Amino acid sequence: MLKRVKRRTKPTRGDAPERPRNLDRALAEPGGGPVARRAGRALARMWLGVRVPAAVLVALWSVVLVAYWPALSAGALYMDDKFYIGAPIMRHLSWASLKAIFGEVLSPSSVNGYYQPLAQLSVMLDFLDPTAANSLLPFHRTTLLLHLLNAALVVVLLRRLFSNWLTAGLLGLLYGLHPLNADAVLWIAERKTVLSTCFALCSFIMYVTYARHAEQAGRGHWKRYLASLLMYVCAVLSKPTALPVALILLVLDYWPLERRFNRNILLEKVPFFVVGALFALVTVISQARAGQAGATQVMNPLYLPLVLGYSIGLYLLKMICPVGLVSDYPCPEPFTLMNTDVLIGNLATAGMVAAIVLSVRRTRAWVAGGLFVLIAILPTLGIVRYTSSIAANRSMYLPMLGLLLPLAWGLNRLWNLNVSASRVLAVRLILAGAGASLATGSVVATRSYEAHWRDSVTLLQYYLTQTPAEWKLHTRLGNEWIQLGNYPSAIAEFREAVYLNPHWAENSLNLGRALYTVGNYAEAKRAFAMALQKTPNDWRAHILMGSALRSQNDLEGALDEFRIAAQLAPTKAAPHYNIGSVLAQQGKVDEAIEAYQRTLRLDPRFGEAQKELNALGAKRP
């Protein structure tokens, strides 16, 4: 008789691997059988799959926390009180405040700059902590947590692209520790940079997931695509420097995703480009209207190659050797190749470009990394300029990722060299040692830079040791001395600001105010006269000049200045109050009463005017 043979069916792709009915029992078999060995290997892989990522992220967060722990007690306010935490609308989260920050798209009144509602909302949420009224800790804590999240997101992105947790963790650690990123963490007003980068990294991760799924399944998953687009919208709602993310997605398609360019890939980007174009328009208009009117300048195209060469070279040198860091780097004078700084920056850029061109035959990695950096940094290069600085550390917070991509590719190749086990171990030990050395150096450099953020005066004094000719720093330091009541130091700083930039009237006004406060009326009058020569239609300068003349008993001269101020600013109450004060001093009671009444009509809450009316026995209108 023929034996009946049981047919073996070939498992399909979707079949689950064979599992024992009692896993514990299978593993406990003496000597272990095939099932036990397979189950053991599966458990080991699963355990490693959880343990390695967790260990990498815990180690990353621990080291970055050690480096940035002093940030939690930083007391320096570098324009934070003006732009963020000092604005009354930021202190009270309500429907009215939310309507203001989200609704004022083209003319934001709550911030001296472009439209950035999500960044403002994040600061509003910090004010829910009762200690925020008298402490900077809640703001620094949130920013530091976002920075830790960003470092982890960098690791996740590099792992998704190159499938190695250890090399991704090493580069994520260097990103989290690099001193060039310290400004974004320490400066409360740069919450927008950290938050925007967080959303941009999420957008990249979701896009890479979508693209890999499309490659395997033949079409992408629409939920992942929409998640990437939504994260992009959130990024530009936090800070418009995330606008180039739409273009960077094409760079990722080129490498490391290496997708075949076709019509569908370009159509995928259309919604991103539409969002980018709309927010670019909003940014230009809102920046021009929100306190920066008249300051917007478009770069002369002839200077663009020189500016690009210098700026990129400066960033490259600061990344390699982060010494002499300041928040903003002024434009070198004269800005020509005859200037050593400009020449060195352009030579560094030229060398980098040459190296990238030579690498094209071997890999796309460095071309893609270079394009990533260039595209990401474009919004901050001053093509449309709002400030006098030509570069800023915080501008590299997102573009730095472009350099990490080819480094991750290179480390991965070294980590997985096809050589003997002993040589692989040696290479990995060398890489680990080099990474540890770089991380240690970064911690030391970051801690050293953080020490200057102890208070505003210390920070500004340090900045002036690096850029002593930056008149804006002298002005800010002078204002800090005013708040501390140190008028001699304030006057010295304002004098230096006037010397460095005599054409800006505000410098003369600052000097005059400080001199007037200490009773030096004659010199204050000369400072106000200098301001009026530059801006004769500034009603504030006329009031200040009138006050100086009045202090020297020149009542007629003071009255003339106050009347000019009233003509220049007909809706302001202060000129009429000063007119009333001089008239009262001259004994012209009826005219003084009329001036005080006009003051109260313009500003019913002007308490001093009401007191003067009461003293004169007159009734309020």
pLDDT tens by residue, 213-239: 888 877 777 899 999 999 999 999 999
Of these ranges, 70-79, 294-303, 395-404, 606-615, the one predicted with the greatest mean pLDDT is: 395-404
Contact 382/390 with Cβ under 8 angstroms?
A: yes
- Phi and psi torsions of 391, nearest 5°: -155, 155
Residue 41: the pLDDT is 59
Residue 336: the pLDDT is 87
Cα–Cα distance, 233 to 203 (Å, whole number): 9
Closest to 512 (Cα-Cα) out of 529, 537, 496, 500: 529
> Exposure of 194 by Cβ count < 10 A (0-12 exposed, 13-18 middle, 19+ buried)?
buried
pLDDT at 261 over 80: yes
Q: Which two tokens stand for residue 243?
A: 């606008």
Instruction: Give the containing element (helix H, strand E) for 298.
Output: strand 297-298
Average the pLDDT over 91-109 and give the result. 84
Residue 536: the pLDDT is 92
Residue 542: the pLDDT is 94
Cα–Cα distance, 598 to 585 (Å, whole number): 18
Residue 412: the pLDDT is 92
pLDDT tens by residue, 118-167: 999 999 999 999 999 889 999 999 999 999 999 999 999 999 999 899 99
User: Which residue, chain included where needed, has tokens 């330091």?
Assistant: 477
Residue 79: the pLDDT is 64
Residue 477: the pLDDT is 95
Which residues, other chains included, contact 393 with Cβ-Cβ below 8 Å and sequence gap of 6+? 180, 181, 182, 183, 184, 318, 325, 326, 327
pLDDT band at 77 (very low <50, low <70, confident <90, very high): confident
Contact 492/527 with Cβ under 8 angstroms?
A: no
- Three-state SS at 381: coil
pLDDT tens by residue, 169-195: 999 999 999 999 999 999 998 999 999
More confident residue, 620 or 504: 504
Average pLDDT, the chain: 86
Interior angle at CA 249, CA 244 and CA 255, nearest 5: 125
Where are the domains positioned within the chain?
A: 50-451, 457-615
CATH topology of domain 457-615: 1.25.40
Average the pLDDT over 535-545 and give the result. 93
Residue 16: the pLDDT is 43
Residue 610: the pLDDT is 87
Read off the amino acid at residue 368: A
Residue 38: the pLDDT is 61
Strand 389-392 relative to strand 297-298: parallel, antiparallel, unpaired? Answer: unpaired
Residue 40: the pLDDT is 56
pLDDT tens by residue, 306-359: 888 998 999 999 999 998 899 888 888 888 889 999 999 999 999 999 999 999
Rg of the chain on CA atoms, in Å = 31
